[in-house]
Structure 1
Amino acid sequence: MKNILDILNNQRDCFNSQKTKDINYRLTLLNALRAEILDNEQSVIQALKKDFKKSEFETYLSEFALVISSLNLAIKNLKKWAKPKRIKSSLLTFPSKDYIYTEPYGNVLVIAPWNYPFLLAMEPFIMAISAGNTVVLKPSELTQNTSKVITKIIQNVFPENIAISIEGGVEISTELLAQKWDYIFFTGSTKVGKIVAKAAAKNLTPVVLELGGKSPCIIDDSVNLKLVARRLVWGKLLNGGQTCISADYVIVKSNIKQDLINVLKNEIIRRYGEIPKESSDYPRIINETNTKRLETLIKNENIVFGGEIHKDDCYVSPTIIDEPNLDSKIMQEEIFGPILPILTYETDTDIEKIIWNLDHPLSLYVFSNNKKFVENTIKKFSFGGGVINDLLIHFGNHRLPFGGIGGSGMGKYHGKHGFDTFSNAKPIIKRGNWYDPSFRYPPYKGKMSLLKKVFKYFG
């Protein structure tokens, strides 16, 4: 394997040469990347099938298509995004023309997770390149098949002094984090996110942390339960529940709890059959370690549906848990699997006690036709982003910033927000020389009254 410090130094030299600041050169790279990814569509699909037993439909919907959309968006809008923006001037700086210039940070490290290994590696990578940075990408070692395809794609498009994918385990991540970067973008667990933040702090490196947490789904008694079940089962079981913005648990009005459980059972069977293990649309858990972790979470819990686990096949059936204790493991840890705890509430205070017992979630979902209840809920709780009457779909709109708050992360990306994340906004004032008022220059005697008036009316 190539020496990491040598790679970083070569990328730093390349960035200092100003090569990556050329918009047309960036567009050439992005177009070449799009062509290479399209040529490797089946390779990506097959890799994810090997890593997760994920269906072609789900792979295309939740990973491949979103990457191509991100590329198309960047290619179409890059010149507009990168153009200096004229800003209204202040009378305090008259005469002047004011602008915001965008510039790349420099040498960027992107550390990707295993749960959506293609999408969550390529989307930040695309935006970092679009902004004019050089990039070292570290794909997940847990999804070896997908990581190999990613490395091949990047290798076929980019000179190593502009972008490279470096595979490996914890030791490689540790070595990468020991270097001095201009920007770090990390997606993964809160536990590892703290390690990344600590490493970045040593060099005051700006960092985006896309983490997770326990995202609640609140359901009141004004809803159509069959519609709720359809959307909830889809959102919860997509990728086998291994989705950072998945509903981690449900808080349902107590008078409809049993009805909800019944329709959820029916919906699961309708979508995946009596034996989900035999469904070609039902993914597996990433590895045996995580399968065992999920087995531990449901031990001694009140399982009202599912609970079947085959460690040799990394299979965990869709599982519903009734009323776990708030202090239990399953309510203290992010589940990251096809297990759905059901809690109940009578009053808004009951909801508060549950959600405020945990750190800020990455997402929050509300199923309700009561507009006042919805508005009060989304204003009361702090969370990264949310959806009313559905799950996950806020991730799919590139116009919405995506990211967490508190324990669920910091920083935002997606679309133009991603370009901005990897760009330093540099304010510039171009001062006119045709007029130079003497007011700001000493001596200041007798000018205090005028100074206060200036700030009162023009400040």
Structure 2
Amino acid sequence: MGDVGKRDEVLHSENAAMVVRGLRESFNLGKTRSFQWRKNQLEGILRMIEEREGEIMEALYSDLAKPQMESFLHEISMAKGACMVALKNLKSWMKPEKVGTLLSTYPSTSSIVPEPFGVVLIISAWNYPFLLSIEPVIGAIAAGNAVVLKPSEISPATSSLLARLLPQYTDNLCVKVVEGAVTETTALLEQKWDKIFYTGNGRVGRLVMAAAAKHLTPVVLELGGKSPVVVDSNIDLKVAMKRIAVGKWGCTSGQACIAPDYIITTKSFASKVADEMIATVQKFYGKNPLESTDLARIVNSNHFARLSKLLDDDLVSGKIVYGGQRDEKRLRIAPTLMLDVPEDSLIMRDEIFGPLLPIITVDKIQDSFDFINSRTKPLAAYLFTNDKQLEKMFVENVSAGGMCVNDTVLHMANKNLPFGGVGESGTGAYHGKFSFDAFSHKKSVLSRNFGGEIGARYPPYTPRKQKIVRALLSGDIIGLIMILFFSKSS
């Protein structure tokens, strides 16, 4: 999604309003609330993933030249897994959760009832255009909502595929796909939604939040940030560099929100890190990585120009120790390693979102914590060490959306862990049960019968009644008994 700009307000606003009205009518009729409806939609999505795997891979290759292994591992299998988890657990997720009650409300029962928000908008991103569209949709449907999905126009093949396939496998009266760019997204954001889920960058995230604020609409913002990798010297360096390299360049050539953005290590260890990383990249992608079929391309010419600007910055051009080759015609940039990059260089200001990897050096490894905390909170933070005390300090002192120790990106694959940001890297979380929770309102319900009346709650508020209420609220059963049996009624 680009900047929100001018558009044909009447045409697009009216069309968007019609879409929302239609979905709200279906939701208000109760269509989406039943277990069976939710199950049917999830089974339809699962069939779509299984039956159209080849078409999904073709679309991802068209948009990003994604290797089939990446398309399967990072998008298709994860979307399928999310759907299977939801189907397996849907009935238990939908059940009210019984919770304890208090002496002051006795006799009563208390429960937390998950209910759908209503009509929700999901705006997805271009770098994992299938997964980042389908997984939130799975959560929204599992929670019983009517849904509009707005795929990214920057990945047009996948957007078109989703617009064509989803209506064939889900209820078109309750699940809609709206394609388009700035104009369409702006028109959608002008509508009143019950929840908005946005995946993308912080600049647009602010626009989404501002639009949502007009209607007091709750939001989930899955944004990004400069995800650091702290590398201690007491590690298996070969294994560490393989895990960092595949997390960086094996994730859409670094065009991933949780891809390692930069390495921090000590001055004395930096050259060893760089040498081993160079050897690893050559082993993975060969002597001429621009020809490797295992590397995705840069998504478009705008992003290619942005990354080229980072490479051409005078502060870093002399710091490149490996890579830097570019092919503008084919939108390819080789894995590039930079050593001792200045903190004030362009590449260290914003999220890189590409195949460039700077190495920052510090005197002591613990100094890396202060470096990370002096910046905006990242979506992910990584540490490689065999020092359990350092690991403990890292977890306790570094704030990030999520962490992975002695590996990269794998925490995202665990559906038992919430995935989301903190601070400028996002708000809210999803994955597994957390996706269901993201699209559910947790409604508090306390139920009583007509017995167990406590007269002390009603006026007139005599001193005796005040003593009874204080004893009830403090849970002082003995004191309550003493008041009831030994004090004068009034």
TM-score (norm 1): 0.98
Q: Are 2:147 and 1:135 aligned?
A: yes
Query: Contact 2:223–2:425 (CA<8 Å) still a contact in 1?
Result: yes
The alignment status of 1:19 with 2:36, answered yes or no, reads no
State, as a whole percentage, how many aligned pairs show the same letter.
39
Aligned to 2:231: 219
Q: Specify the alignment match of 1:304 in structure 2.
A: 321
State whether structure 2 residue 291 is matched by structure 1 residue 278.
Answer: yes
- For 1:28-65, what per-residue CA distance to the aligned partner results, in whole angstroms no more than 9, with x for missing partners? 11112211221110000111111111111110000000
Aligned 1:349-368 pairs, distance under 5 A:
350-368=367-385
Give the corresponding residue for 1:45: 57
Which residue among 234, 243, 256 is the counterpart of 1:231?
243
SS of corresponding position for 1:313: coil
Measure how far apart 1:382 and its partner are.
1.1
The answer to whether structure 1 residue 450 and structure 2 residue 468 are counterparts is yes
Task: Output the CA distance in 2 between the equivalents of 1:158 and 1:3.
Answer: 21
Q: Is the 8 A contact 2:245 2:277 kept in 1?
A: yes
Partner of 2:253: 240
Say if 2:209 is the partner of 1:197.
yes
Name which one, 1 or 2, has greater alpha-carbon Rg. Answer: 2
Does structure 1 conserve the Cα–Cα contact (< 8 Å) formed by 2:153 and 2:179? yes
| Alpha-carbon distance between aligned partners in 2 of 1:345 and 1:431, rounded to the nearest angstrom | 63
Post-superposition Cα deviations, 1:228-281, rounded to whole Å, max 9, x if no partner, equal 111010001121001101111010122111011000000000011111122211
Match of 1:415 among 427, 432, 438: 432
CA distances 1:157-202 after superposition (whole Å, capped 9, x unpaired): 2343201111111111111111111100000001100000000001
Name the counterpart of 2:359. Answer: 342
Q: 1:329 aligns with which of 330, 346, 351?
A: 346
- Within the candidate set 439, 451, 458, 1:434 is matched to 451
Distance (whole Å) between structure 2 residues aligned to residue 48 and residue 183 of structure 1: 28
Question: How much has 1:353 moved relative to structure 2?
Answer: 4.1
- Matching residue within 415, 434, 447 for 1:398: 415
- Secondary structure, counterpart of 1:21 in structure 2: coil
* Distance apart, 1:434 and its partner CA: 2.5
Which region of structure 1 is more displaced relative to structure 2, 25-34 or 401-410?
25-34
Distance 2:404 2:339 in 1: 24
Q: Which amino acid aligns with 2:471?
A: K
> For 2:69, what is the secondary structure of its paired residue?
helix
Aligned mate of 1:261, from 266, 270, 274: 274
> Any idea what the Cα deviations from partners look like across 1:69-103, whole Å, max 9, x if unmatched?
11111111111100111111111211001111111
Which one-letter code corresponds to 1:183 in the other structure? K
Q: Tell me which residue corresponds to 2:16.
A: 4
* Greater Cα offset, 319-328 or 116-125: 319-328
- Report the alpha carbon displacement of residue 369 of structure 1 after superposing the two structures with TM: 0.5
Which residue number in structure 2 is paired with residue 86 of structure 1?
A: 98
User: Which amino acid letter does the alignment assign opposite residue 366 of structure 1?
Assistant: L
> Quick one: structure 1 residues 458 and 55, their matched pair in 2 at CA, closer, same or farther if it must change by over 3 Å?
farther
Structure-2 separation of matches of 1:90 and 1:448: 18
Q: CA deviation at 1:323?
A: 1.4
User: What is the Cα deviation at residue 217 of structure 1?
Assistant: 0.5
Query: 1:453 Cα deviation (Å)?
Result: 3.0
Counterpart code for 1:57: M
Match of 2:442, SS? strand
Aligned match for 1:158, one of 170, 179, 182: 170
Q: Which residue identity is paired with 1:268?
A: V
What is aligned with 2:45?
Answer: 33
Question: Which whole-Å CA distance do the structure 2 matches of 1:451 and 1:434 have between them?
Answer: 18
RMSD across aligned C-alpha pairs, in angstroms?
1.4
Say whether the 8 Å CA contact 1:127–1:419 is kept in structure 2. Answer: yes
Structure 2 length-normalised TM: 0.91
CA distance in 1, matches of 2:462, 2:94: 46
Question: Alpha-carbon deviation of 1:448?
Answer: 2.8
Could you list the per-position Cα deviations for residues 334-382 of structure 1 after superposition, in whole angstroms to 9, with x for gaps in the alignment?
0000110001112356324421332010010000001111111121111
> Please, which runs of 5 or more residues in structure 1 have no aligned partner?
none
**Using the alignment, how far apart are the partners of 1:237 and 1:458 within structure 2?**
62
C-alpha distance in 1 between matches for 2:386 and 2:260 = 19
- 1:394-434 deviations in whole A, cap 9, x for unaligned? 10011101100110000011100110110000010111223
Contact 1:92 1:458 in 2 (8 A): no
2:127 aligned counterpart, secondary structure:
coil
Structure 2 residue runs of 5 or longer lacking an equivalent are: 1-11, 478-490
Query: Which of 171, 193, 215 lines up with 2:183 in the alignment?
Result: 171
Q: Is the 8 A contact 1:113 1:121 kept in 2?
A: yes
Task: Encode CA deviations 1:280-338: one digit per residue, 9 max, x unaligned.
Answer: 11110101110110110121211110001111111010001111211111000100001
1:181 aligned partner: 193
Q: Residue 482 of structure 2 aligns with which residue?
A: none
Q: Could you tell me how far apart the structure 2 residues matched to 1:455 and 1:17 are?
A: 42
What amino acid does structure 1 have at the position aligned with 2:32?
T
Structure 2 residue identity aligned to 1:450? I
